[in-house]
Amino acid sequence: AGLAVVAKAAGKLYFGSATDNPELSDAPYVAILSDTKEFNQITPGNSMKWDATEPSRGTFRFANGDAIVDLAKNNGQLLRGHTCVWHSQLPSWVTNGGFNNATLQSIIQTHCSTVVDHYKGQIWDVVNEPFNEDGTWRTSVFYNTIGPEYVAVALRAARAADPNAKLYVNDYNIDGTGAKSTAMVNLVKSLQAQGAPIDGVGIQGHLIVGQVPTTIQANIEQFAALGVEVAITELDIRMTLPVTDALLQQQKRDYQTVIAACNAVPKCVGVTIWDYTDKYSWVPSVFNGQGAALPWDANFNKKPAYDGIVAGFA
């Protein structure tokens, strides 16, 4: 029936995929990406990041992000903006600018409000990856200069630019319960106590075959209990190559486990995979000897993982 069809039948808002501009010249790729029975949401993997959108101070570039917005609009798909404030893919004028607290706050405000205003009407990963594995704050130019308040600064700017956008904080390794997830719970509580706008927690979901946490549902429930929505925003489940039937079967079970956990919690509103085909996965370029993380193989054939996703929404 299609992944978006089964997700919607299960009461979810969307099932989506990340994509990136260079891939859009691959016609067979775009055909599946644009099939709204499979995907009714897309996320630009790179083209709305800071280095892409404000490469030098006050100079904004929207063409690549616009191309993905246009594709989503033409297809009738939702779009998740990704991402306003992140320590990575950050131009050196921000990282090495030597700005003081007040100036850097105003740089965040200008950046987030300009980008969120330009791409009005979306879901947004406003802040990405604020924490270390042990739940302490990740050191970045933002944290080092402003302190934890940089998160609220970004969220308030985004809300002012587009009162209708859904505003998320997003991180990886907050799939199961643990120190990093607890840090996210505490951040949401603190934002709520300050009256800062926070609509959702994004669980990236970059996972490993055979090592999917057993506490995903409990973890989603603890986020949902804060009154925010939850989304799985960048799901992929990688394996050590070569691909074997046994690994593909385990991967199928792992996808089912993750999807079933989201499915069980009404406030888990949607799932996005971090591209849909192994042809364009980020994994092999970063994890040597690993890959095959997505539900379609590099030749656009559906893998067992596809059926695992369908089963997870059943």
Residues making contact with ligand G3I (CB under 6 A) = 45-46, 88-89, 128, 172, 204, 234, 282
| Cα separation, 185 vs 207, whole angstroms | 21
> Which stretches of 9-134 are assigned E, i.e. beta strand?
14-19, 41-44, 78-85, 123-128
Q: Measured from the CB atom, is 8 or 238 closer to ligand G3I?
A: 238
Query: Which residue's CB is nearer to ligand G3I, number 88 or number 144?
Result: 88
Q: How far apart are CA 272 and CA 17, in angstroms?
A: 5
How far apart are CB 89 and ligand G3I at their closest, in Å? 5
Residue nearest to ligand G3I (CB): 282
Rounded Cα–Cα distance for residues 289 and 240 (Å) = 6
23 noted as active-site residue: no
Nearer to ligand G3I, 23 or 221 (CB): 23
Alpha-carbon gap, residue 269 to 275, rounded angstroms: 19
Instruction: Kindly state the smallest distance separating residue 53's Cβ from ligand G3I, in Å.
Output: 13
Catalytic residue of the set 38, 54, 229, 234:
234
Report residue 26: phi and psi, to 5°. -95, 100
- Is the separation of the CB atoms in 263 and 313 below 8 Å? yes
Closest listed residue to residue 162, CA positions, set 128, 124, 195:
124
Residue 103, CA distances (Å) to 6, 99, 145, 150 in order: 47, 6, 10, 12
Cα–Cα distance, 24 to 72 (Å, whole number): 12
In whole angstroms, how close is the CB of 204 to ligand G3I at the nearest point? 5
Of 23, 129, 221, 229, the catalytic one is: 129
Least distance in angstroms from the C-beta of 1 to ligand G3I? 28
Contacts of 89 (CB under 8 A, 6+ apart): 46, 49, 50, 51, 52
Which C-beta is closer to ligand G3I: that of 128 or that of 219? 128
Active-site annotation holds for 234 = yes
> Shortest distance, CB of residue 168 to ligand G3I, whole angstroms?
12
Residue (115 or 310) nearer to ligand G3I, CB = 115
Q: How far is the CB of 201 from ligand G3I (least distance, A)?
A: 14
What is the C-alpha to C-alpha distance for residues 239 and 36, in angstroms, rounded to an integer? 28
Cβ proximity to ligand G3I, 46 vs 181, nearer residue? 46
Buried b (16+ CB within 10 A) or exposed e, 44-81: bbbbbbbbbbbeeeeeeebebbbebbebbeebebbbbb
Q: Tell me the Cα Rg of the chain.
A: 19
Q: What is the set of active-site residues?
A: 129, 234
